[in-house]
Amino acid sequence: MDKITYKPIGKINTPFKRGKGTPIQPPAGKGIEGKIKLYPEYQKGLKDLDGFSHIILLYHMHKAKKYKLLAKPYMDNKTKGIFAIRAPSRPNPIGFSIVKLTKIKNNILYIQDLDILDETPLLDIKPWVGEFDDRENIKTGWLEDNVHKLHKTSADGRFEKK
């Protein structure tokens, strides 16, 4: 299998037009609001989603530049392997974010706590469930000494197409 093709199911609208200045993870974008405009043919799939407080968004990072297997992440000055960081420039630029779902009206989802660029193509939505998604005995690798920088760090554009 050489090629896999996905069709977007909608677009994510946010205040972030460029990578520079965008929060690098959803907790750093706390309170920032946006919308998902789900394409009408997928609206029936939203049935019962309004009972969840948070959703997982899978999306195509359409403004990411070509990847390198080694890159310097935002919260460290040392080069890391691409699979040990969450940079948008990846072999398959698929992003995921856990965001707060505040309301659904027809095919529009109102969301908060964003780290996503405007007009991002949405690939899928899944409900976030603590009992399924939380883990015990977590190790955070190189981020253990850097995670405290999250709320002070925003994207600087290094992974964005010019």
pTM of the predicted protein model: 0.88
Domains contained in the chain, CATH given: 10-130+138-152 (2.40.30.70)
The per-residue b/e assignment along 73-107, b for 16 or more CB within 10 angstroms, e otherwise, is: bbbeeeebebeebbbbbbeebebebebbbeebeeb
Residues 6+ apart with CB under 8 A from 24: 74, 75, 86, 115, 150, 153, 154, 155
Q: What is the per-residue pLDDT for 8?
A: 98
Q: How far apart are CA 160 and CA 162, in angstroms?
A: 6
Q: What is the per-residue pLDDT for 74?
A: 86
* Strand, coil or helix: 46: helix
Q: How far apart are CA 62 and CA 26, in angstroms?
A: 18
Q: Work out the number of other CB atoms within 10 angstroms of the CB of residue 120.
A: 24
Task: Please give the chain's pLDDT, 162 residues, in tens.
Answer: 789 999 999 999 999 999 888 887 888 789 999 999 999 999 999 999 999 999 999 999 999 999 999 999 887 889 999 999 988 999 999 999 999 999 999 999 999 999 999 999 999 999 999 888 777 777 777 777 767 766 777 777 787 887
